[in-house]
Amino acid sequence: MTEFSSEEKTILVQYGIKKYENEETIFEKLKTILPEKDIQRNIDTLLGTQRVRRIGPENLQNNESHTELPDLPEHLKSIIDNL
């Protein structure tokens, strides 16, 4: 697994949420590049900081009305595209 900074991990999780919304699918897709512990920690942090909101028991959504999605660094674009 590639080593990502904590900021990169957060960005990957946010874009994973944008792409899939279903929490189970997000875990399924991201666990190929991040440990489950990091995925869960970032989801919890994003929920706590209101950058992501829960829109049902299993769905997550970026809270784009509250905060903007961070810019996707060039080196992470191919990773997100391949999820």
Per-residue pLDDT tens digits for 32-81 = 999 999 999 999 999 999 999 999 889 999 998 878 899 999 999 999 99
Can you tell me the mean pLDDT for 15-44? 96
68 phi and psi angles, rounded to 5 deg: -80, 150
pLDDT of residue 1: 59
Query: In the predicted model, is pLDDT for residue 2 greater than 80?
Result: no
The total number of structural domains in the chain stands at: 1
- Closest among 5, 17, 1, 14 to 72, alpha carbons compared: 14
Asked whether residue 20 is assigned to any structural domain, the reply reads yes
> What does the pLDDT read at residue 64?
86
Q: Is residue 17 part of a domain?
A: yes
Question: 25 in a domain, yes or no?
Answer: yes
Residue 4, both tokens? 């990502």
User: Does pLDDT of 26 surpass 70?
Assistant: yes
Its domain, for residue 18, covers 6-63
